[in-house]
Chains A and B, each alone.
Chain A
Amino acid sequence: MATVQICEAEKVYIMHGVRDDLRIDGRACDDYRHMEVETDVVSNTDGSARVKMGDTDILVGIKAEMGRPRPLIPDEGYLEFFVDCSANATPEFEGRGGEELGSEISSTLYKMFQNRSSLDLRALCIVPREHCWVLYVDVLLLQCDGNLLDATSIAVKAALFSTRIPKVHVSEDDEGGKELEISDDPYDCMRLQVEDVPCIVTLSKIGHRHVVDATLQEAACSMASLIIAVTHKGNVTCVRKVGGGSLDPESIFEMTETGKRVGKALHAPLMKLLQEEEVLGKRRQKVGFLG
């Protein structure tokens, strides 16, 4: 994460605050910052979403393109992640600076979607072994104030929800070759089931307690943090300890417990908000960056 330098005194101040369950912006230890989620922000894409969590601002665009399925899994489409840490977030990311963090986030996303239950990829297959849909998920990091993984996972889930993939009619022409024609009617499209898509909860250990959704200052005084991807059923799909410090086992079990509770509590309101936006459809007043 882009780091910010803070002096020892501030670290002690934050630590004491966390010990009494009071953080610098007044939140409790397991509270998220104010979050805004909006879909269909960019028009050139098949699905897009923007998440603004405090000062962390992430925009995800999904474009579906035709491709060949992977030789080992011939009857499924697949996802390709690309994380662009643009220089907008901090001057450090200019040129090749942001690539290291970008590849770290994209490898976590690949791991999260590696197991077969989070997203049903078989629907993306058009003709086994020959044609399938490839979803290019491009994450654009506009502003970075800590907790990038949570915001990214929520934005990816919202974008997948809003993705409209045009239906493909496969017709056999005379000498056995396959004829593909994509319907251009904007309403005749396929939607993805995103209930099982997990969301990431990052728990940072500060002193003897752990906090959710740590800002850059709080991340600077946390020695180690635990990343847990939680589905709405409460299952854990990807766990990673990140950071230079070590954790004692008890706090790992506590953090997994909190992570599961907070993660489960995250899915319901998110799905409700996405449903509402869906119902409004065209009448919804697009806010975007102008709001």
Chain B
Amino acid sequence: MHNARNAMEVESSSTCALREFGCEQSLLSRPDGSSSFIQGDTSVLAGVYGPADVKVSKEIHDRATLEVLIQPKVGMSGVRERAQEQCVRETCEAALLSSLHPRSSLSLVLQIIHDDGSLLSCCLNAACMALMDAGLPMGCLFCGVTCAIDRDGRIVTDPTMQQEKESRALMTFAIDSTERKVLMSTTKGSFSVNELQQCIAVSQRASEKIFQFYRDSVRRRYSKTL
């Protein structure tokens, strides 16, 4: 499949530079939907299986059961991966219309290829593209944006690992495509209220660019096959 690469500049007061994004869909044969998402050097591979049959103990009678598994690049998945899995799972559940596939199971596997900062937002973007690729009914799309507030108060979007280490606070938001509302947010470090509001505003602007990027890569993909 193709590989869309374009750098993006978000013109606004604070530096809203996003790193070079790359996305590729249905690159794996076994899963029903798959995608690989690259933000700068951070890259995540996502695979979606389902709707498939579900274990009786996990069955919900009016909607699908979604399971998310995050495999770290090296070593076993620990408590941090389990907390990230909860965030990704509940964000996807908010976006998916799972009541159209009751009593079935969807499983989303995210394999971390390389982590150079904003890992959770890269996972979210990869998850969204994989769900789209699997053709699952979704109420809205969602994208992940990570903001870091460095020593002197500037907001850096899509920080690298180095920027994350030096930052005073780190926030990751999931923004939905219809009303640009905050679906998910996890934070590290302490920050003031207006810094938070600023970060949300910056993330909403950055999400415009990301959704535009989604449309471009999907248009480029189907332009070949039509």
Whether chain A touches chain B in the assembled complex (some CB pair under 8 Å): no
